[in-house]
Structure formats: C-alpha cells, structure tokens
Amino acid sequence: MSVAGEARPLDAAMVIGGERVEPEAWLENFDPSTGRTLGRVAAGGAAEIDRAVAAAKQAAPRWAAAKPVERSRLLHRLSRRIEEAHEELSLLETRDTGKPLAQSRADITVTARYFEFYGNVVEAYLGGSIPLGAEMLAITENVPYGTTGHVIPWNYPAQITARSVAPSLAAGNTVVVKPAEIAPLTPVRLAELALEEGLPDGVLNVVPGEGASAGQALGDHAGIGHISFTGSVATGRTVAARCANRGRPVTLELGGKSPHVILESADLDRAIPLVVSTLIQNAGQTCVAGTRTIVHRSLREELIERLVAELESISIGPGLEDPDLGPLISAGQLERVNGFVERAVGEGNEPLRAGSVPPGLGGYFVEPILFTEAAPESEIAQQEVFGPVLVITPFDRADEAVALANATDYGLTAAVWSRDVDQALGVARAIEAGQVFVNGYAAGGGVELPFGGFKDSGFGREKGFEALGEYTQTRTVLVRSELPAGS
Ligand code: NAP
Ligand code: MG
C-alpha cells in the first residue's frame, strides 16, 4: 500500500491470521479534501469477524504465556518501525481523514509512543501478595482476557488503534480491530508492519467494515473477552448493552463538550493560542476539542476580538497542503455540522464566521464559527457538534464558571486559565471531567496520563499505566501451607 505517486487507488483489505485477506465485497473510501474516490475498503461482516476471532483465539494461549519481556521487545520493534514509516503513515492518515499533514505527523509520533510506553511499563505491571499469616500464601496475578475487540472511530484512526491495542497486547491479549469504514488505512497498515516485525500470526487482526455489520458482529462475538469502544454516545450505549447481555466488560470512550474556563486573572496571551488550536484541530472532530469558552465578563470582549483576529488569519485547504484547518471527514459530517449551525441560527443566534473557505475546493470544508450569545442550555452549547464551532459564555463569579463548566451531560476534559493558583486549583478540582488542565491542554499526546470520561463521556480509562487494568482480570491464588514441625 504505497502512498507517494501511486497509480492505483488506496485499498484497505483485511489482516487475519497473519495474512492480508481480500474481502468478498468492497466499499468506497472518499478523499475528504476533494470529495473524489480514494480507494476501496473491505466490507467485512460477521463471517470475516468470526474468522478473525478464531485466528486471534488460536494465537492467544502462546501470546499470553510469553514472558512480558518478549512481548515488550516486539512492541518496541513495532514502535521503531512506525517511526521508520512515519512519513508514509502520516500521508496515509491525511489522505484518509483530510487532516492537515502536520497533525497526522503528530498523531503518528503518538502512535509509535503508545507501543513504546506499553512495551516499557508492562514488565513493571506487578501482581501482589496479601498477608494472611504463616499458613497461607495469597498472591494476585494480572491475567489477560484472551482476545479483546477494539472498535475505532474515524477521527484519529492510527492513534486510537494504538491507544487500546498496545496495552491489550502488552498485557497478553490477542486482538481484533474494527476500524471506521471511512478511515481504515492506517489501522490496516499498522497490522501489516506488526507482522513484518515478527508479531506472531493471529495476534493482531484488523477487519474493516461497517458498524452495523462488522462492528456489531465483533461486539456480539462470544469469543471476545473485553471490548474497547471509542465513538459516539449513542453507539457506545448500544455496544455496552450488548456486552452487558453477554456479561462482558466494556470500556467506553465517548464524546465531549469540553470547556476552557478563563478566570479573571488569566493570561490571554497563553490561553488564546490553545483556545484556537483545540477548536480547529482536526476541524473540530476531536473528542477533547475545546468547544466551549467560559470567560470572565471583564475579558469577554477582548477575547472575542482576539479570537476572531486569530481565526481570520488561519489557512484553510486540503490536508496534504498542510493548512491550519482541513476539511471535515465526509459529506455526512458536513451536513451534520451545518444542521447544528442552522438550528442555532433558527433559534435567533447570530453566527460570527471567522475566516472563509477558499472558493473552488471540492471537499467538505467549513470555516470556524463562533456563537457569542447562545444560551447555556441551547443545543449548540450542549451537544457535540464535531466541527470548528465555538460557544462563548460569560460569567461573573468563579462558582458560576464551575456551574457552567459542569452544565452539560459530558465530562471528558476541561482547561482552567488563571494566574491565581488557589483559584485555578479550586476550580479545576470542582470540574466534573476525566482530565483537567491548568494553563495548558493535553501535554504531548498524554500517552502517560489516564484518560476517559465522567458522566456521558464514558467509563473505564485508556492511556497511562491504569489502562493495563482494563485489559486484565485479577486471579487470586491461595496456597495453604503447613509449618514445618517444630518451628
Ligand atoms: P460512531 O458512529 O459511534 O462510530 C464509532 C465506531 O463504531 C465506528 O467504527 C463505527 O463503524 C462503529 N459502529 C457503528 N455502529 C456500530 C454498532 N452497532 N456496533 C458496533 N460498532 C458500531 O462514532 P463516529 O461518528 O465514528 O465518531 C465520532 C464520535 O466519536 C464523536 O461523538 C466523538 O466524540 C467520539 N469520539 C470519542 C473519542 C474518545 O476517546 N472519547 C475519540 C474519538 C471520537 P462505521 O463508522 O464503520 O459504521
Ligand atoms: Mg477515508
């Protein structure tokens, strides 16, 4: 699957049992920057998932029995290989998702880092012992589930695949991955690279296909011990309900409506670049996008003025030209974003459009849009738009800021901006979110930092050491011993 100057379309087949497998049927993959066909995607379904789970289960006992250091070395090899293929993977990611090339490059760096990090820490993933006196020995082991399933969204295909696959493999599971059908290229390529680096056949399988067929079949499969799902709240709940029916655990990473809380003493010079970048990154199609700005009334006017000026100056264009803002992923997503904007306007909100889409672009582009008067309870202030749309809400007292920050059903991330340490910490710790940043936002990909939602944003934790716990179950072994006579 070469990228540069290829004459044939980019196809994403399946990787099952250590082989590239052609599907019986294909779907079309569109280039978000042009709207034209990019290539074909395997239309995997229940039969292909079945085959992948069988291959994964066959590989599971040996993989689980391997010494952690052996798994660790393979993950390190894969990490290095991803670094060697950095540009190829970055180009694939940008072509598939439309995101600006610099952002794909950052994503691939983080992808490699996941395999490095879990390769590092798995050897220190210790069990325990419980003191029960001289006649008992109680120990706990971290035991893999066998085979885990991973349902991946289209917004960060490489990173999110690595995020759950790396800890699961490190912990001794074999895996089956179902990428989003509109962005399957890097997950498939990662599996190919892993095979080339010596990952045993069947340990990492990838079956692209539609959610309603391949995704559902994976979530329903009796051979899967745990499901990691990243995507929308509605689909996540469906998958979780199905897992509950089978009595299987699930990790849900869902959406967000994350606020920047800009307190009275905030340094706007530091805050504004991050308000802008977390709004336009991946065209706003980021679960941790900063889509609400809750600002002290005294700073509101200056903030709006400076945000508009910054946003006016950004470049908009095809991902491969590495603009500041690329296209949305699909025609459907463009329609969805426009729908939110039209409904907000219909409710009497004036949109402040900053920057403009250059004429003649064929892809799914939208310019940044600010709503500065929308009521906190309105749809545009409550729902995840997944586009570069920002709602700005003023407050007078810090407790109002906290109440506003917490006034959505989501609770994924938040940022607090202040020069006053006491106040910043007080507000940060009152926010209902899985990650809260003070005077910053998500450090370097945050591979080491436990990540996940409060409230409707999900449950369970990915990233960090903590994620290893999602992919293992505790076995307690109790040994009764007899004291030697006379002791
Ligand atoms: P989605 O529609 O929920 O899809 C996510 C994945 O689930 C895709 O692979 C999809 O397949 C699959 N799927 C759809 N129906 C399924 C079913 N019945 N059973 C099993 N799998 C099924 O979400 P999306 O539109 O791709 O992604 C956008 C959403 O994901 C946003 O809400 C965003 O916030 C959230 N997200 C969250 C995080 C996080 O870490 N918290 C990260 C990224 C995105 P197909 O697309 O191929 O049909
Ligand atoms: Mg695509």
Q: Of 408, 31, 383, 334, which Cα lies nearest the Cα of 232?
A: 383
Pocket test for ligand 1, best of 287, 461, 462 (most atoms within 8 A of CB): 287
- Rounded mean pLDDT of 186-199? 98
Residue-wise pLDDT for 458-473, tens only, equals 999 999 999 999 999 9
Whether 354 shows a pLDDT value over 90: the answer reads: yes
Measured by CA distance, the residue closest to atom 34 of ligand 1 is 255
- Rounded mean pLDDT of 269-281? 98
Residue-wise pLDDT for 89-118, tens only, equals 999 999 999 999 999 999 999 999 999 999
Ligand 1 atom nearest 234 alpha carbon: 3
Measured by CA distance, the residue closest to atom 6 of ligand 1 is 153
Q: What angle do CA 34, 90, 44 make, to 5 degrees?
A: 75
* pLDDT of 4: 39
Centroid of ligand 2 to alpha carbon of 182 (angstroms): 4
Q: Which residues line ligand 1 (CB under 6 A)?
A: 151-155, 160, 178, 180-181, 210-212, 215-216, 219, 230-232, 235, 238-239, 253-255, 287, 384, 386, 412, 458
Measured by CA distance, the residue closest to atom 15 of ligand 1 is 211
Residue 243 a catalytic site member:
no
Residue-wise pLDDT for 138-176, tens only, equals 999 999 999 999 999 999 999 999 999 999 999 999 999
Residue 384 a catalytic site member:
yes
Partner residues linked to 229 by β-bridges: 151, 252
Whether 8 shows a pLDDT value over 60: the answer reads: no
Q: Where are the alpha helices (DSSP H) in 134-232?
A: 157-170, 185-196, 216-220
Ligand 1 atom nearest 253 alpha carbon: 41
Helix axes 185-196, 157-170, angle to 10 degrees: 40
**Structure token pair of residue 410:** 């989501």
CB 366 within 8 A of CB 328: yes
* pLDDT of 448: 97
Q: Of 277, 255, 374, 387, which Cα lies nearest the Cα of 330?
A: 387
Whether 25 shows a pLDDT value over 80: the answer reads: yes
Whether 1 shows a pLDDT value over 70: the answer reads: no
Centroid of ligand 2 to alpha carbon of 188 (angstroms): 13
Centroid of ligand 2 to alpha carbon of 30 (angstroms): 5
- Rounded mean pLDDT of 41-47? 97
Residue-wise pLDDT for 291-309, tens only, equals 999 999 999 999 999 999 9
pLDDT band of residue 9 (cuts 50, 70, 90) is low
- Rounded mean pLDDT of 388-401? 98
Ligand with an atom nearest the CA of residue 33: 2
Centroid of ligand 2 to alpha carbon of 467 (angstroms): 28
Residue-wise pLDDT for 447-461, tens only, equals 999 999 999 999 999
Centroid of ligand 1 to alpha carbon of 384 (angstroms): 13
Ligand 1 atom nearest 216 alpha carbon: 19
Measured by CA distance, the residue closest to atom 10 of ligand 1 is 211
Ligand with an atom nearest the CA of residue 10: 2
* pLDDT of 376: 98
**Structure token pair of residue 441:** 């936002």
DSSP 462: B
Ligand 1 atom nearest 451 alpha carbon: 40
> What pTM does this model have?
0.96
DSSP 39: E
pLDDT band of residue 355 (cuts 50, 70, 90) is confident
Handedness of CA 262, 266, 268, 269 (dihedral sign): negative
Centroid of ligand 2 to alpha carbon of 180 (angstroms): 9
Ligand with an atom nearest the CA of residue 186: 2
User: For all residues of the chain together, what is the average pLDDT?
Assistant: 96
Q: Of 185, 181, 189, 170, which Cα lies nearest the Cα of 216?
A: 181
- Rounded mean pLDDT of 379-388? 98
SS3 per-residue string spanning 267-305: CHHHHHHHHHHHHHHHHHCCCCCEEEEEEEHHHHHHHHH
* pLDDT of 482: 85
Ligand with an atom nearest the CA of residue 184: 2
Ligand 1 atom nearest 231 alpha carbon: 30
